[in-house]
Structure 1
Amino acid sequence: MRHWPPGQQLHQGKYLIEEILGGGGFGVTYRDQNRKEDKLVAIKTLNANVQGKPNFREYQTKFVNEALSLAKCSHPHVVQVYEVFPEMVENIELWCMVMELIDGIDLAEYLEDNGILSEEKALPIIQQVGSALSFVHQQGFTHLDVKPQNIMIRTPPSPPLVRGGVRENPPFSSSPLNKGGQGGAVLIDFGLARQVTAPGKLRTNSNSGTECYAPIELLEKRAEVGAYTDVYSLAATLYVMLTGELPFPSQFRKQNIPLTPPKQHNSKISDRVNAAIVKGMELEPQNRPQSVQKWLDLLIPKPVAAETTRVISAVGMDYTNLQNLLAAKKWREADEETARVILKVAGREKEGGLNTESIDNFPCEDLRTIDQLWVKYSNGRFGFSVQKRIYKSLGGTREYDSEVWEKFGDRVGWRKNNKWLYYKDLTFSEKAPEAHLPLRSGWVGWRLGVGWVVLFSRVETCRL
């Protein structure tokens, strides 16, 4: 089968193909219209070349495993998988993976168009991808193909124009990397992802990643892979972002060809960042930081007083106390503080709750700040964006559905034995189910889903 043409219907007419977005050696990705929910999605499947291979079934198994890997990784900086379904094509069952369609460009394309980045612009991107990788590793997976082509940069929404008292949403115009923008990095393409079954266990690698970003263990026939494998590739990505030069491939370095320090290509690189990149790209795995977070700590060291740094939004709200409570793992106090600041930002303190209008107009920057603080200090387990992803995975839309809402309550631990729990009976710890927090966030309560559905719509609009 060749590629599907525009207008092709999939999954009993639920999806309508609009165009091919791109492809690689194994897969092809289409932009599709979800006709049931009236939104655009991306659908990925194996390409025509792979479909004709004698070991197609083996490739298909790996493809489905990719989908399962992604489905387990609900994180603001990991591409979201909505569903997987089979489609019959010329007597072949071809599996399709439905993903979120990210409005933006990949980092490689951005670098090609704009040149190298400053540390000020590059490090926040690396931090976001690093947080995604840390979460992926906690789920028992390694990505194994981190590179600029697999990092998407969301296009931030422009501020609404106001004409004659009516808000208008203009086309996207601001840079994806603008400081303070609503864009963000998203890790995609888990085609090489492996599940790590036991520490230190040898695994056979059939793919070598991309040469200049792949550490030596990916280029050997049998090698131990782990978080340190992704550390190398993330450090190599930063190398390219700051220098515009590709580092020597690791197999050449094994022949005693040293790595050229990035600062030799760009003298503006700080000594700290230069040293962190070199350390992250150590040839032997045991000489690298053994986790992404340990490498990030070398890249951006945090002084003891760092957690007391004030966090103030564009509208003047101070989130320092929320940050400190979350850093101290005081989850219940942080939940109460979240409700307080949300009501204050919305100007609804006297009313004691939000309404639809105040949620619809809640500042995206503040919603993003609150969400990112929760995501950061919970290691990706809590936050509005996490809740929204799970809600949508259960079939939730902008229309309130009591059955979906109850499924959501069961999934995140707000219900037990078909009954909604009281606030005092909820779990305020990191052991709580994923997306369990925050709860008391200023609207009608966690048991009444109408307000939350409006919130999730706002989270979607703000591109969290």
Structure 2
Amino acid sequence: MIIWQPGQEINNGRFIIQGKPLGSGGFGTTYKALEPSTGKLYAIKTLNQQMQLREDFAEQQVKFINEALTIKGFDHQHILKVHEVIQSGELFGVVMEYIDGETLFQYVRQNGQLTESEALLYIDQIGQALEYIHAKGSLHRDIKPENILLRQNKREAVLIDFGLTRSIATKSMTNALTEGYAPIEQYRRKGSFGSHTDVYALAATLYYLLTADGLNKEGEFSPVPAQNRKYDDEPLPAPKHYNSRISQRVNDAILQGMEIEPEKRTPTVLNFRENLGLVRTPPPNPLPASEEGGLKSSCGMDYRKLRDLLKAGKWKEADEETKRVMLAVGNREKEGWLDVESIDNFPCEDLRTIDQLWVKYSDGKFGFSVQKRIYKGLGGTREYNSGIWDKFGDKVGWRKAIVEYYKDSYHFGNHKWLYYGDITFDKKAPEGHLPQYIFHKWGWVLVWGWCEGRCLLSRRDL
């Protein structure tokens, strides 16, 4: 039996094990490891002690490696990245991305049940990851709060632990499962497996995120197991039973996603996201993604008017059009401004299209990516720093010095943030001066910029 120890060198000294294992499950143990040559940290997963003692250990390692190679083909923002398979002695290890963060289960245990908006944010992210996995012909089969990591200081969820992942085409599967999150078909070796199998677990995860306080008061840490519901007639209380603040729409979507019989259950993750109100319905006759020279949109938004205004150098009208389309894509027309959640969830494809149009027609002078470069160059991050934000405002021309008359002479006093009416809509404006309207709330950039502006300029996809 092999257990890697802190400070141990593996794979001919390429990696050094750091501290105690990050975690251990029914199949594997995950270690934190340093690659001295690059200074990078990785997570390396192996089969655990129990698996190593099995007579068919060699066969299990082959399965372990084959599954790792399948996951290595996954490339999605909300799926843990697998880099390669290594060997150290008789033990194989899967080298994965190391994420400094905590699981959703740990997060909820520490902070209590989530608000509906925050819970839906993470479920939407993991739901998109599952749609990607299903499109690749695989099932995860172990969705639960413990298998979802939150990146440190980010509202970003990542799906981990693919130990039970199988091909959708497989008719006979192991009945390994997590009670409370596994659907009834997972209790059988042969059953009606499909995307609806992961839908149940995703719905059960949302159930827990929204009802944890009530569940924990009753000494439970997961929804009623499907086996109990099926054979012991133990009812599953509606989410609203534990949390009256849950909307009826979300309450009903969860219950439909957790139907016992597969044929009655929400069939796909996309349908589940639609039932939750997370999928924006495209407008009629949307602009094809491949049309009009790369004016791509994930939701069918037409960017031709913005392109034409920028091309004509109508900077003010283009700025107003930028706000219109971004509020429409973010489904925030009624509010008139973007909040943190809508910024974090703003489609990458649409954000890039808007930014690239500004950059192209301003000859590289304007655009969100230009603003981001300036902001980052000043040391800006997602965290609040009034000094850096003020310097950014000075740099892009959103603040100006107040000239005061005192004792027969003029003095330059403190800087103040400009109102939207004072913005310069001309290519002679400072670099990064535009787009600007989207940064305003109540006509004053500072109020919005303290939080939402930093989130936008910290987006990795700009």
Larger deviation: 335-344 or 145-154?
A: 335-344
Is contact 2:175–2:189 with CA below 8 Å preserved after alignment?
no
Q: Which residue identity is paired with 2:186? A: L
1:53/1:294 Cα in 2 relative to 1: closer, same or farther (>3 Å)? Answer: same
Deviation, 1:25, is 2.3
Cα offset, 1:348, TM superposition: 2.9
C-alpha displacement at 1:117, in angstroms? 0.9
Which residue of 2 is the match for residue 133 of structure 1? 130
Query: Does 2:41 align with 1:40?
Result: yes
Partner of 2:58: 57
What's the offset of the Cα at 1:280? 0.1
Match of 2:211 among 222, 233, 243: 243
Aligned counterpart, 1:14 = 14
- Tell me which amino acid in the other structure corresponds to 1:38: G
Q: How many Å separate the matches in 2 of 1:128 and 1:208? A: 25
Q: 1:340 aligns with which of 357, 382, 387?
A: 357
1:51-130 aligned within 5 A: 51-88=52-89, 92=90, 94-130=91-127
CA contact (8 A) 2:124 2:278 kept: no
CA displacement 1:320-357 (0-9 Å, x = unmatched): 6589899xxxx99986644234679997349x999987
- Tell me which residue corresponds to 2:194: 226
> Which moved further from structure 2: 209-218 or 65-74?
65-74
CA distance in 1, matches of 2:234, 2:186: 18
Q: Which of 201, 204, 207 is matched with 2:172 structurally?
A: 204
3-state secondary structure, aligned to 1:204: coil
For the aligned residue pairs, the C-alpha RMSD in angstroms reads 3.8
Partner in structure 2 of residue 169 of structure 1:
none
2:372, 2:111 → 1: CA distance?
43
Matches of 1:357 and 1:276, distance apart in 2: 44
Q: Does 1:143 align with 2:140?
A: yes
Matches within 5 A, 1:358-373: none
Quick one: structure 1 residues 319 and 26, their matched pair in 2 at CA, closer, same or farther if it must change by over 3 Å? farther
TM-score, normalized by length of structure 2? 0.63
Distance 1:6 1:290, change over 3 A: same
Residue 399 of structure 2 corresponds to none
| Structure 2 residue matching 1:131: 3-state secondary structure | helix
In the alignment, is residue 190 of structure 1 matched against residue 191 of structure 2? no
Aligned to 1:217: 185
* Structure 1 residues 462 and 355, CA gap change in structure 2 (3 angstroms): closer
SS at match of 1:134: helix
1:206-258 CA-to-partner distances (Å, cap 9, x unmatched) read 13310110000100121121111000000000111111122211111112333
Any conservation in 1 of the 2:175–2:188 contact (CA below 8 Å)? Answer: no
The CA deviation at 1:12 is 2.0
Would the aligned equivalents of 1:325 and 1:334 in 2 still touch at CA under 8 Å? no
Mapped partners of 1:15, 1:316: distance in 2: 53
Counterpart in the other structure of 1:402: none
Distance (Å, rounded) in 2 between the aligned partners of 1:278 and 1:309? 36
Q: Which residue of structure 1 lines up, in the alignment, with residue 262 of structure 2?
A: 285
1:146-157 equivalent positions in 2, closer than 5 A = 146-156=143-153
What does residue 5 of structure 2 align with? 5
CA contact (8 A) 1:280 1:295 kept: yes
- In the aligned structure 2, how far is the partner of 1:49 from the partner of 1:303? 46
Is the 2:80–2:160 Cα contact (8 Å) retained in structure 1?
yes
Per-residue deviation, 1:79: 0.2
The offset of 1:196, in angstroms, is 2.1
Aligned to 1:223, what secondary structure does the other structure show? Answer: coil
Query: What is the CA–CA distance in structure 1 between the aligned matches of 2:270 and 2:372, rounded to whole Å?
Result: 39
Structure-1 separation of matches of 2:377 and 2:3: 40
Query: Alignment partner of 2:18: what SS?
Result: strand
User: Kindly tell me: are residues 323 and 68 of structure 1, through their superposed partners in 2, closer, same or farther at Cα, counting changes over 3 Å?
Assistant: farther
Q: Is the 8 A contact 2:12 2:88 kept in 1?
A: no
2:92 and 2:251 mapped to 1: Cα distance? 44
Rg comparison, structure with higher value: 2
Specify the SS of the correspondent of 1:259. coil
In 2, the alpha carbon distance for the partners of 1:333 and 1:239 equals 31
Q: 1:361 to 1:95 in 2, by over 3 A?
A: farther
Secondary structure at the counterpart of residue 40 of structure 1: strand
Partners in 1 of 2:372 and 2:228 — Cα distance?
61
Shift of 1:195: 1.1
Q: Alignment partner of 1:77: what SS? A: coil
| Structure 2 CA distance for aligned equivalents of residues 191 and 133 of structure 1 | 15
Tell me the secondary structure at the aligned position of residue 222 of structure 1: coil
SS state of the match for residue 117, structure 2? helix
**What whole-Å deviation, never above 9, does each CA across 1:160-215 have from its counterpart, x for those lacking one?**
xxxxxxxxxxxxxxxxxxxxxx3300000000000123xxxx62221331011000
- Report the CA distance between 1:121 and its aligned residue: 1.2
Q: Deviations over 1:89-118 (max 9, x none)?
A: xxx3x2111111111100111111111111
Looking at structure 2, the residues matched to 250 and 237 of structure 1 have their Cα atoms a distance apart, in angstroms, of 14
Equivalent position amino acid for 2:87 in 1: P
Is 25-34 or 202-211 further displaced after alignment? 202-211
